[in-house]
Amino acid sequence: MEVGFLGLGIMGKAMAANLLRHGFRVTVWNRTLSKCDELVAMGAAVGDTPASVVAKCKYTIAMLSDPSAALSVVFDKDGVLEQIGEGKGYVDMSTVDAATSCKISEAVKQKGGAFVEAPVSGSKKPAEDGQLVILAAGDKALYDDMVPAFDVLGKKSFFLGEMGNGAKMKLVVNMIMGSMMNAFSEGLCLADKSGLSPQTLLDVLDLGAIANPMFKMKGPSMLQGSYNPAFPLKHQQKDMRLALSLGDENAVSMPVAAASNEAFKKARSLGLGDLDFSAVHEVLKGTGGQAKA
C-alpha cells in the first residue's frame, strides 16, 4: 500500500517510520523539510508540497500540531485541496476540534475525495511501538480501506460514526488526562511539603486502585524536574482549550478541567510549552521557568 504522510513531528515521525518498517511505500512531507531526512534513510520518498504528495498517493495521512496547522495544510497554496479528488482519500490524525474536521471534510468531499478524521490516544512510545488507539469517524469506505495502516499504527481502532465524533472523543480523553496530571502533581507537592517522601507516594499509588501507566511513567521524571517532551505541553493546553469549548457548547460545567487549563496556560507563559506536559508540575511546585527537557 502506498501512503502519503504530512507532518513529521514527534508523533508523525514515529508513525511514518512504523509504516515503512511494515512494508508500506511512504511519501513524506514536513513544513521543515530537513525533518524528512531520517525517513528518507529508511526508504521514504519526499514530496515538495502537500499537494504533490496527494497527487502521487491514493491515500494521504496527516499528523499536525493543531487546528490552524490542519487547516493551513489543506486550504493554503500547494495544499491538499489542490490535488484531492475522485478515488483519493485524506486521513487527518491530528487532534483538532470537530468544527475543523467538518470544515476539512466538506471541502474534500466537494472535490470528490473522501475524508476520515482519526485522532489517536497514546504518546510517543505507543506511536513507536504501533500501540496507539485510533478514534476514527467520517467516510466508512475510506476507514475500511485504511484498516491495514491503522492495524500497523495502533492496537485498536474505533469507528465512531459521524464526522466530529473522533475529535470529540479525543478531546474528552485528553481533558481527563490533563486534569489527572494536575491532581497528580498537586499530590506530589503535598506529599513533599508535608514531610512525606514523594517516591514512597509513587510506590503507594502504583499498588492501589488509581495506579496507571501515566503516573508510573511520568512520576519519576517529574520528581527529577526532567521533562523531555513526549507530549508537548502546548498541545495539552490546546486540547484543554478545545475540550472546554466543547463543554461550553454543551453546557457541561467542568471546573476541574478549567482549573487545570489555567495551570497549563501558566506553564506556557513561563516558557514551558515545548517541554513535556508533565512540566505543569513546575507551576504547581511554584518553581516555574527552572525546568529542563
Ligand X SMILES: NC(=O)c1ccc[n+]([C@@H]2O[C@H](COP(=O)([O-])OP(=O)(O)OC[C@H]3O[C@@H](n4cnc5c(N)ncnc54)[C@H](OP(=O)(O)O)[C@@H]3O)[C@@H](O)[C@H]2O)c1
Query: Comparing C-alpha atoms, which of 2, 111, 8 is closest to residue 60?
Result: 2
Are the beta carbons of 284 and 182 closer than 8 angstroms? yes
Choosing from 69, 118, 202, 257, the residue that interacts with ligand X (CB under 6 A) is 69
Ramachandran quadrant class, 161 (left: phi over 0; alpha: psi -120 to 50; beta: rest): left
265 binds ligand X (CB under 6 A): no
109 belongs to the catalytic site: no
Choosing from 120, 177, 246, 272, the residue that interacts with ligand X (CB under 6 A) is 120
181 binds ligand X (CB under 6 A): no
288 binds ligand X (CB under 6 A): no
18 binds ligand X (CB under 6 A): no
Q: 134-152 as b/e, with b when 16 or more CB fall inside 10 Å?
A: bbbbbbeebbebbeebbeb
The CB-of-251 to ligand X minimum distance in angstroms stands at: 25
The CB-of-235 to ligand X minimum distance in angstroms stands at: 4
129-136 contacts: CB < 8 A, separation 24 or more? 130/18, 130/22, 130/154, 130/155, 131/155, 132/15, 133/157, 133/158, 134/93, 134/158, 135/160, 135/166, 135/169, 135/170, 135/173, 136/160, 136/166
168 binds ligand X (CB under 6 A): no
124 binds ligand X (CB under 6 A): yes
65 binds ligand X (CB under 6 A): yes
The CB-of-103 to ligand X minimum distance in angstroms stands at: 16
SS (H, E, C) 77-140: CCCHHHCCCCCCEEEECCCCCHHHHHHHHHHHHHCCCEEEECCEECCHHHHHHCCEEEEEEECH
98 binds ligand X (CB under 6 A): no
The CB-of-94 to ligand X minimum distance in angstroms stands at: 4
Active-site entry in 88, 103, 168, 170? 170
Choosing from 3, 5, 12, 160, the residue that interacts with ligand X (CB under 6 A) is 12
Beta carbon nearer to ligand X, 229 or 288: 229
Dist. CA 109–CA 232, nearest whole Å:
32
63 binds ligand X (CB under 6 A): yes
Beta carbon nearer to ligand X, 90 or 201: 90
Q: Which of residues 215-234 bind ligand X (CB under 6 A)?
A: 230-232
Active site residues: 170
In the complex, which residues of this chain contact ligand X (CB under 6 A)?
7-12, 30-32, 35, 63-66, 69, 72-73, 94-95, 120, 123-124, 230-232, 235
